[in-house]
Amino acid sequence: MVRKYDYLVIGGGIAGMSFALKVARTGRVALICKSTLEEANTTLAQGGVASVTDLQLDDFDKHIHDTMVAGDWLSDPKAVEKVVREAPSQISQLLQWGVDFDRREDGSFDLHREGGHSEFRILHHADNTGYEIQQSLIRRIRESESIDVFEHHFAIEIITQHHLGKIVTRRTPDITCYGAYVLDENTGAVDTFLSRVTLMATGGVGAVYTTTTNPLVATGDGIAMVYRAKGTVRDMEFIQFHPTALFHPGDRPSFLITEAMRGYGAILRNPAGERFMEKYDPRLELAPRDVVARAIDSEMKAGGHDHVYLDVTHKDPGETRHHFPNIYAKCLSLGIDITKDYIPVAPAAHYLCGGIVVDTNAESSISRLYAVGECSCTGLHGGNRLASNSLIEAVVYAEAAARHAIEHAHDYQFRDDVPLWNDEGTSHPEEMVLITQSAREVGQIMSTYVGIVRSDLRLDRAWNRLDILYEETERLFKQSKVSRAICELRNIINVGYLIMRQAKERKESRGLHYTIDYPPQPHNETGD
């Protein structure tokens, strides 16, 4: 089936839904979601949204400086300036959409402080801010008569000149996106979605790793699709591992213990009960995430342990339960009373700072294709994301993409000469076994060799092992009927390769990329 829409949105988190709501007044929108709207990284974001709102104590320059420091001075100053200064207006937009941020008795925002921030500037809704935002946007999406939601639909490839018979390379100057081939999981058919404008908002890559806080839909689909279409992808080596995921073997994804808890006063302790952050950074538990994650990793390896502890037992029990009701309930379900017991934690893959390279309009190197949210590389995060900068980046760049797309969309024509998807192939009974095993191997390779601490030797091993899996998977893909499972496997292998290759190319320890072969050097505003 061929479907035509003015705007094709691939991904249903805060980035995709914000854009859809902003452009819906100017045309028809198709919102593609490979699971349900409820299952997105946004839903799992606990901490909150960073924005300067208390101008008596805070200002834009402080937020800009904090972002640059956290990014190890690799952040693009233009992107940082854009996000920080436009954040308050997008907070107002979220409020208009019905998002309920916690407030004090006087009506002002109840602001949190998180690692790397010099001031209290994190807006939140208890300890489930992402869920609150997701639900508010879903309600608005469902109300819109201009937005068609396609749940359980999986985007396989974006459509470019390649599908019209033209040879497309990374040097082709005019690569253009005309829509996407999308698998309807309900019927097994592959539909052709033609669009004037396409937005990629497919989220992160956490599922590439064995241990992750991301939902298992985070398989890097958009990044892999754009890379295969010869689009530009950058900074994939900068994978942020959240320092404090709840350690409970068998849980995938791992339950996140929000950074806000350390901002609240929680203390990290090793299994002997000793506080250890003073050995690693004067900012202690509020050091940037890469510092804290490596400190925990070091303590675990030094003692041969698989976790450390987060201690909040010294805080008022009632206040703790009030601020962190979901964390309290989750831990209690496992027999851990956080007001009396230490919380077992370990780092887990959490956030990708790189992705599809975009300009200040969120447009990629491929014409008519925008990327917003975690799958994009705006330059904001540089070498490391400052806590709670991701959700605000998504809405700021969704606004930029919407403005640019609305201005140009109706100048673009549909391509009616796009061929239908070739669905030849067979389904093998053993296919799922092979796919499941290969996916498990990718997770093991990435976690072992391309994790928090790397080396040239580990990266070479990852290269060799991923290469074998790539060849096997491509053969299987070419002879099989298309399925979500085989496509996701292709994507995690593609993304794993990009992380590993770009890690090999960075001959320094910088930001989230830490290698024992290149000792870290301090950097400043000039990058020196």
> Is residue 196 classed as helix, strand or coil in its secondary structure?
strand
> Is residue 92 classed as helix, strand or coil in its secondary structure?
helix
Helices of type H across 348-389: none
> Is residue 157 classed as helix, strand or coil in its secondary structure?
strand
Please name which of 138, 299, 163, 147 lies closest in space to residue 228, comparing C-alpha atoms: 163
Across 84-202, the runs of DSSP E, i.e. the strands, are 122-123, 147-151, 153-159, 179-184, 190-200
The CA angle 225-226-231, to the nearest 5 degrees, is 155
Name the residue type at position 523: H
Angstrom distance (rounded) from CA 444 to CA 275: 30
Neighbours of 104 (CB within 10 A): 9
Residue 99 to residues 126, 214, 295, Cα–Cα distance (Å):
12, 22, 36
Contact 165, 148 (CB under 8 A): no
List, by residue number, the catalytic residues: 289
Local structure of residue 4 (DSSP, 8 states): E
Q: What is the DSSP string of 225-244?
A: HHHHTT--EE-TT-EEEEEE
Contact 391, 130 (CB under 8 A): yes
